[in-house]
Amino acid sequence: MFNNKTDFKQTFERRLEEKYGRSVADSHITERYDILGEMVRDYAGTEWRTCREDILDENKKQLIYFSMEFLMGRLLTSNMQNLGIFKVAKEGLEEFGIDIGEIEDLESDAGLGNGGLGRLAACFLDSIASLGYPGYGNTIRYEYGFFRQKFLHGQQVELPDQWLTNGFVFEVRKPKHAVEVKFYGSAETFLKPDGTYGWKLNNPTCIRAVPYDVSVPGYRNGIANSLRLWSAEPSENHLPTNQSFEDYLTTLKELCHGLYPDDSTEHGRMLRLRQQYFLVSSGLQSAMRSYHRRFGSLDDFADAYVIQLNDTHPILAIPEAMRLLMDEYGYGWDKAWGIVTKLFAYTNHTVMPEALEKWPVNYVQTLVPRVYMIIEEIARRQEIWMNESQVPGSDRYAMYIIKDGQIHMTNMAIFTVFSVNGVAKIHTDILKEYTFREFYKYYPEKFNNKTNGVTHRRWLMYANRKLSRLINSAIGDEWRYSYEKEIGKLKPFAKDAEFQKKFLEVKHACKEEFAAFVKKTYDIDIDPNSIYDVQIKRLHAYKRQLLNVFHIMYLYGRLKEDPTFKMVPHTYIFGAKAAPSYAYAKKIIELILAVAAVINNDPDANKFMKIVFVENYGVTLAERIIPAADVSEQISTAGKEASGTSNMKLMMNGAITLGTLDGANVEIAALAGEENEVIFGLKAEEVQKMVDEHSYNPWDVYNSDKRVKSVMDSLFSGPWCKGDSNRFRMIFDEIMAHNDQFFVLADFGAYCEACERIDKLYSNKKSWAKAAITNIASSGYFTSDRTIEEYNRDIWHLPKLEGIDND
């Protein structure tokens, strides 16, 4: 611990000398980063210990948050800010002649996540700690993350994300908490000493799961929780006899090699299943063992813990919990089931039935045979229950857990858990009325909505310090602690001419900073006076990056055909990764890059527009882009996006939403006012009606709208094809031959009109500033603090922790 600048400097000097044998002046920047990171980690560790003692002394209920990913971003600055030590460290380092910014830039983004699911989980951990609740993330310690994106020859190439090259200073390895996870083998009965029969695995492959804990400090409240990362190591006592040690080590390395293995092969799919079981078995074993050691029983385990399953990936936790209770702790089915059904809650993140996880029966039978037996029994009992509890007009087959040789994981979750939540109002309504309508008939009380949120600390306070200072000057700094309640006080300033002027100055300064970064990184000159039009999200067909680039292609065609055509200058900014096996998404990236190469190098066009596709998009790049954004592109097909979170981050930073009424856009438009956003396109019910009636044909649009015909034809003959007429045939075929599944052409005309409305609004600086400030002032609902309070009020029921007073 250090309490002032003098203590900090003495500690920094001493630790450098003790660990590296160097003075501050002689030390390398990597050594400085390591020592500073250790000091921050240990500072948070003191708070973590105090909170842990509070939980144990008072037997307080705890949350375990299972998620396959946590996209944490850099931790050094955010942890120092949350702990209230950033200023001390910055000034102390300055007296050594060290720029803290150089040390900050040395940190890699932790390779523990990919997209919105992982970023949401990271925001939740920040809010849980900042609100003072005991909650802990559990995931895998991926050695090489998802992948590092590189653009070579105009295409995405996937390279290993070597984020652990310089170690991960914030983690603490805790081998005493290791557990053993068992795969394969055969399930056999045995006679127990009391004369009853039990089950055991014969000849399994045993893997030692070792936890690494990362402290998650709350915002200046003396509270620190943790994110637990599970790593696979060789078993100490049960090495395999049926394979070589080298093959066994390969099995271990695969488990923690990377996030979301390629599922286009059977091996990759089995690896995904192994990862999921490894995570949930490790976390459950650790929690149950700890509780049993203290109390000698797991009778009240569901009163001491609540487990949130973030999406479908951790649902194997349900049968695994049953296995542990019955096979390891001697519970009968009924008592174990009583515990499990009080223990788990499930968050759904997709409205598309085809995206709900299903596993072939033979995969689970082979990998975890005893777990499969339990799933079979859950399914059998579900069918009995449905027969006894018939609901008129219900399709019970849709609810079956095992059917057509597949285990439907979400069906098992909804049957078992006590809470099922969607992540935006429209999303939850679709779950009730469409995706899970049969379950909703049986279990209406289980379903609830928890609209997503993002942590305003990282995405406004730390990412956009200029805007934060401006907000402080208007309404004080209480919004930092109580964002939902306080940020609304900014609304009167939306009409204040002086505040509008200051806001536009701040935005322009952020845009200039991003322009300098783009020049340095990509050697592209962009105009800070242009509209920064931003679409940053995972590349998927339903998110419709294609609609965006089709519009850009249309504008380019107009500029080339009509010398009198003028447009408001735009800089189109894309950030997205496509899954390695998702060929169509990768082809869309190739198209955007090809269009960018043409436009950016064409003097007729590049004075009006430029395209920047940032490479290897992640949290740190988002922190550069979002403060500079003018327009927030949220253009997914209505009814397909569960919530979205980039829309919330961009709103907090004063970007205007250009979007469909999908996901959280619905609530953004309602809270800020549709007059302060630009909403367009088909509504969810209109899309569904066209699907149900088979009334949409993209050829009708192609033949009736010359803009659409020109854009589609250019996929064969445009300058982006570079003479290869087949280069983008896949995109043409996906739209025209597969009936435009995500209604890109259906919404094209409305999107073009919406873009014109954006240009018109931007041309009136006062109106634009008013709308942007109104968005910021209306964003209080979208802090993850509000989301977590709702989870706790309705689902978790966690007590508050007693933190350390650092003042």
Which residues are annotated as catalytic? Answer: 349, 537-538, 543, 645, 649
**Token pair for 734:** 């996906």
The span from the CA of 541 to the CA of 640, in Å, is 10
CA terminus-to-terminus distance, the chain: 13
Query: DSSP readout, 538-563?
Result: ---GGGTHHHHHHHHHHHHHHHHH-T
- The number of helices, as runs of H, and strands, as runs of E, in the chain is 32, 23
Structure tokens at 14: 């001493």
Q: How far apart are CA 247 and CA 251, in angstroms?
A: 6
Give me 490's structure tokens.
């900014």
Separation in Å, CA 632 to CA 88, 532, 539, 629: 36, 9, 16, 7
Phi then psi dihedrals of residue 57, to 5 deg: -65, -40
Segments in 737-794 forming alpha helices (H)? 748-763, 765-777, 784-791
Residue type, 39: M
Which helix or strand (DSSP H or E) is residue 152 part of?
A: strand 148-152
Distance CA 692, CA 463 (A): 44
Any idea which residue has 């310090």 for tokens?
465
User: Cα(491)–Cα(776) distance, rounded to whole angstroms?
Assistant: 8
Taking the C-alpha atoms of residue 780 and residue 486, their distance in angstroms, rounded to an integer, is 8
Contact 359, 409 (CB under 8 A): yes
Ranges of H-type helices in 185-225: none
User: How far is Cα 516 from Cα 522, in angstroms, rounded to an integer?
Assistant: 10
Q: Which residues pair with 208 in a beta bridge?
A: 180, 233
By the 8 A CB rule, do 679 and 638 touch?
no
Sign of CA dihedral 583, 585, 586, 592: positive
The Cα–Cα gap between 491 and 485 comes to 12
